[in-house]
């Protein structure tokens, strides 16, 4: 079973994070949520951009060194800026990329991948207002863009497609298609 983590920063976009976590778990992918809010058990609760509090499985400090098959960054503001500006998140992104492991970011979160230098020379997408921050990127106005080990997506409305694409990549197209059908997601 693939092991991936989803990073939850204060101000994350709740719909994106929960949709991704839910769809991947339905696809029998082992998802661990990591809080970047700090250390210790009291730092597991992370408040999203719209005031919804989600309890993470572990702190980033506890989970950063694990060999994740994929690291996923939900968007939202100011969550995406926290991901971009956090040295531990940036180090994790760089380690993943250096190992050739998979990275995913949606909405404004591709700015964190850009800050880590992993988007230079790649095709990518993001929430439209973030395009100007993705320097050195071939920007595409598509719901989901995959370039090598990196997949990006545009926002809340594309989070199901993003999650299903990840299931297809980590498991199989058949697994993704089965989920799509069961969840009544149009093709």
Catalytic residue among 107, 124, 150, 167: 107
Beta strand extents in 36-160 (DSSP E only): 45-47, 53-55, 58-59, 70-73, 102-106, 123-124, 138-139, 144-147, 150-153
Distance CA 118, CA 174 (A): 30
Strands 30-35 and 58-59: parallel
Contact in structure between 34 and 8 (CB atoms under 8 Å):
yes
5 belongs to the catalytic site: no
Active site positions, annotated: 107
């Amino acid at each position: 079973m693939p092991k991936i983590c989803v990073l939850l920063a204060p101000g994350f976009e709740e719909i994106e994070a929960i949709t991704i976590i839910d769809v991947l778990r339905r696809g029998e992918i082992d998802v661990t949520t990591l809080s970047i809010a700090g250390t210790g058990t009291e730092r597991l609760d992370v408040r999203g951009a719209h005031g919804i509090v989600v309890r993470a499985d572990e702190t980033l400090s506890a989970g950063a060194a694990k060999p994740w098959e994929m690291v996923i960054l939900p968007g939202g503001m100011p969550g995406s800026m926290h991901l971009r500006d956090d040295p531990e998140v940036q180090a994790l992104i760089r380690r993943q990329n250096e190992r050739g492991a998979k990275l995913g970011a949606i909405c404004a979160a591709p700015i964190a991948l850009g800050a880590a230098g992993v988007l230079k020379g790649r095709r990518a997408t993001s929430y439209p207002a973030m395009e100007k921050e993705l320097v050195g990127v071939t920007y595409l106005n598509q719901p989901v863009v995959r370039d090598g080990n990196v997949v990006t997506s545009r926002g809340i409305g594309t989070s199901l497609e993003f999650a299903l694409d990840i299931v297809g990549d980590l498991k199989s197209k058949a697994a993704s298609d089965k989920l799509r059908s069961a969840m009544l997601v149009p093709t």
